[in-house]
Amino acid sequence: MKKMCVVLEDREVQDNPFQPDMWRIVRRYPLTSDVNFYQARPVDVDEALKMNYMPGQFIMLSIPGEGEAPFCISSTPSRPGLLEFCIRRMGTLTSSLFDLKENQTVGIRGPYGNWFPLDKMEGKDIMIVAGGMGVAPLRSLLLYILDNRDKFGRVTYLHGAKNPGEMLFRDEFFQLKEREDLNCLLTVDKDDTGKWTERTGLITTLFKELGPIDSKNTYAAVCGPPIMYKFVMEHLVKLGIPKHQILMTLERRMKCGVGKCGHCAVEYLYTCIDGPVFSWWDVLHMKELIGRGASDKTIA
């Protein structure tokens, strides 16, 4: 019998998509009583400019020993070097992250997911509608557009919060309001301070102030609590914005970010690789994208 050696050891070297890189928190400050804002850069500073991402994408963030979860990116790639994200104190991991101090390190991998179709949005009017925490991913898009202002038409930013104290990036938006090339409308459901100088009422009340819009030439980007979508979508569809030009970014439980763990599955899509940015048409014909129950029989 002739002996032979079967060699299999020369498998191709490839990156492990689950491998977190270590990043350092360089700045942290509270946005509200339960939401913190973070800036991070790679521990290895030479890597800082190699992080390429697009508005709408997310990262997997981990603390060794506590776990890993997806977080949207709040910074814009037009200002490279630092990653910014917002974290609300919610579960075990978010509480640990919430307690992170400057100079501590975290694991980050990504970016993952699709992004807002900026190539198609260029030259168009843009309407951004953010409710509550929904500003976290939309801030990336807004800042990107403002940093490339000449490439876009009219830009409208609608932002709603429960009350003045809950408004994320409040100071930043009050500054942006002064810009002449941005129509920035802010509202709170209820003013409990007596000092609020902007609108009061649900975010949908802002639509009355918009005046005529060039709907076919408009892209809308929406993010907010599930309850907000139904009413905001009604307005946007009524305004005549095509359903595939109304975009939203969605949240799901994720354990991998790369289409393997299954948790974010919706029909044949994975929110992590086919999303998190979907159009209103996707949501209408892909049941369960925004958590419609079996009893929902709406057609519009």
Partner 1 sequence: MMILKMKKEDLPAFLESAKEWGELWGPTTKDGKTSYAKVDSLSQMDLKATRTVIPPKKFLYPPRFTMFDFDEEGFVERTGDVPKRILFGLHPCDVHGILIMDKLFLETYKDPYYAERREKTLLLGHSCIPDDKCMCFATNTDFVAEGFDLFFTDLKMFYLVWVGSSKGHDLVRMRADLFSRNLDKNDILNYTEYRKWKTAQFKAKIDLTGMPDIFELGYNSPIWDELGEKCLSCGQCSMVCPTCNCYNVVDEVDLGTAEGTRDRFWDSCMFREYSVVAGGHNFRDKRADRLRLWYTHKLQAFIGEFGKPACVGCGRCVATCPVDINVATVSTALKEQEVGK
Residues near partner 1 (CB under 8 A) are 1-4, 6, 8, 11, 14, 16-22, 62, 64-69, 88, 90-91, 93-94, 105, 107, 226, 251-253, 255-256, 258-263, 265, 267-268, 273, 287-288, 291, 293-295, 297
Shortest CB 18 distance to partner 1, Å: 6
- Report the residue number, 4 or 300, with the smaller CB distance to partner 1: 4
Shortest CB 261 distance to partner 1, Å: 5
Length of the chain: 300
Q: β-pairing, 155-161 with 183-188?
A: parallel
Q: β-pairing, 183-188 with 125-131?
A: unpaired
- Output b/e per residue, 91-130; b: 16+ Cβ within 10 A: eebbebbbebeeeebbbbbbbbbbbbbbeebeebbbbbbb
Residue with tokens 């919706």: 266
- Report the residue number, 218 or 279, with the smaller CB distance to partner 1: 279
Shortest CB 151 distance to partner 1, Å: 31
**Alpha-carbon span 182 to 178, nearest angstrom:** 8
Shortest CB 242 distance to partner 1, Å: 24
- Report the residue number, 197 or 295, with the smaller CB distance to partner 1: 295
Q: DSSP label at 198?
A: S
Cα angle, residue 42 at apex, residues 38 and 43 outer, rounded to 5° = 110
- Report the residue number, 108 or 247, with the smaller CB distance to partner 1: 108
- Report the residue number, 143 or 161, with the smaller CB distance to partner 1: 161
- Report the residue number, 93 or 237, with the smaller CB distance to partner 1: 93
Q: What does residue 136 show for φ and ψ, rounded to 5 degrees?
A: -55, -55
Q: DSSP label at 29?
A: E
Shortest CB 295 distance to partner 1, Å: 7
Shortest CB 267 distance to partner 1, Å: 5
